Structure formats: C-alpha cells, structure tokens
Amino acid sequence: MTDREKLKHKQRIVIKVGSSTITYSETGTINYSKLEKLVRIIADIHNMGKEVVLVSSGAIAVGRHAIGLNEKPKTLACKQACAAIGQAALMTVYKKLFSEYNQTCAQILLTKYTFLRDESYENACNTLHELLSMGVIPIVNENDTVSTAEIEIGDNDSLSAYVSSMINGDLLIVLSDQDGLYTDDPRKNKDAKFVSVVKEFDPEIFDMAKGAGTNVGTGGMSTKIHAALMATKSGADMVIINGDDMENIRAVMNGEEKGTLFVANKDENYDFRSM
C-alpha cells in the first residue's frame, strides 16, 4: 500500500482553513459558496465514521469588515475587537451550515497558555476528546480577543499542528492558496518544480518555503513547513492542498495525488509543547 493509499484509512483528521480561503480577498467578506462546500465535505467525512476537527481562521477578517475596516488592524485593541465581533459571526454561519447536514459543532478557543500550563492543556485535551466521542465537530481558533504578543501562537498553521498532536490525530490537511510545496515561489519563478512527497526534513525543504502572506491571512508556506515538522514528529501525515477547490479534501481522503504529502515520522522523544 502506498503512502497516498494509506490516507484512505485515517480516522482522526484535522482540517485547517485560513482566512484567505474562506473570505473574498477584495472585500474580506465570507465566501459562502466555499464555506458551504467545506462544511458539506466535512459532514461527509464524518458520516463515514471518521472524527474531524476543523481549525478555522477568519474571525478578524470577518470582524474588520463588519466595522468597515479595509486593512489589517494595526493596534492590538483593534485586532482583538475585530476578533470578538468576527468570531461570533463566523460561528453563527458554521452552526447554521453544519445543522443543515445534521451535524453538531462546538467552538474551542485556545491560546499558547493552553499548551504551556499542564492543567489548561489537560482540560483542553479532555474537552476535545469528549466532544469527538460525542460525535461533535470541534471548530478551533486562537483566542485573539485575549492573546498578546507573549501568549499568542500567531498563526493557525501552527495551531492546527498543536491540535493534531494533542488529540493524537493521524492526518492533518492544510488548505493553502498554492497547490502545495514548490522548490521556489511559483508566482515569481516559472521554473519552480512541484514537490509531491516529503519524507525527511533538511535545510533545503525550509529554503523552499517563501513566507508570502496575503492581506487577510497571517501564514505563508514557511509556517506550513514548520507545522508539517510538528505534525509528522507527533505521528500524523500532513498534506498541503489548494483551498480554491474544496474537492481537493475529498481527493486526499481517496488517496489521490493531490498536494504535497509530508509522511509521518513519529519521534517518541518529541515534545511538541516545547516548540
């Protein structure tokens, strides 16, 4: 059985979607068509008897649109206010869409303190496992409303790897604005070659990642590579796919050659909480 075919049998899956995937870049408003497709596919995967956790960005982007702010918030207070407004709006949409497919979702907001403090970590772990045992789909985001520079994770690529590690996930799917990892930024270098599979991390892999972001997102390929390192060392395969087509998620679950696959290489001595 190939590494791709093994993905068909993964049972505990974390899916990460970024702000730039579920909002319109021109306006920052929710792309309801893509969000509905995402929810429908997750509901289908869940109906197959698999456990799914969704790590979703978008709160700040949605919140800033609600107050008519066209650029990323420049102050911490404004960022946190946008997060407070947007998180409520985003969860309302998720709850409505999931309920249409007879699925129950729950909101989980985390900070870096959750992982650094043993009691908080254990409580979050227990809550996530209990929700999964109940057949609920947890929707996770960083708690931007209370995060500061000292306690923020900073990007949801890393957060998704943390979550995958804490629940012993066996597959992490990260949606990107690229088809996966290239040897160079394909938007700037037409000779950049696509990398289908990564089995070992070396300096060359990290050099391939260009930290390009967007007007609405916080991550780039660099954060995804670091997330892949965390996830694979914790025992999960990770795949970076293009989020422009939500059907790519289903293709990955069917073992098709989509995106860049980072093959799990579990390190028993690895402590992801020290990252």
Q: pLDDT tens digits for 84-141?
A: 998 999 999 999 999 999 999 999 999 888 888 899 999 999 999 999 999 999 999 9
Contact 132, 66 (CB under 8 A): no
Query: 269 is written with which tokens?
Result: 């001595």
- Provide the phi-psi class of 268: left if phi over 0, else alpha when psi is between -120 and 50, else beta: alpha
Residues of the chain with pLDDT under 50: 150-151, 211-219
What is the rounded distance in angstroms from the CA atom of residue 38 to the CA atom of residue 86? 19
Query: 145 is written with which tokens?
Result: 């409303």
What is the rounded distance in angstroms from the CA atom of residue 181 to the CA atom of residue 178? 8
Q: What is the pLDDT of residue 191?
A: 86
Which DSSP state fits 23? B
Q: What is the CATH topology of the domain spanning 3-267?
A: Carbamate kinase (3.40.1160)
Q: What is the pLDDT of residue 115?
A: 87
| Alpha-helical segments (H) within the chain | 3-6, 19-22, 32-47, 59-66, 76-100, 112-116, 118-133, 156-166, 203-208, 221-233, 247-253
| Domain ranges within the chain, ordered by starting residue | 3-267
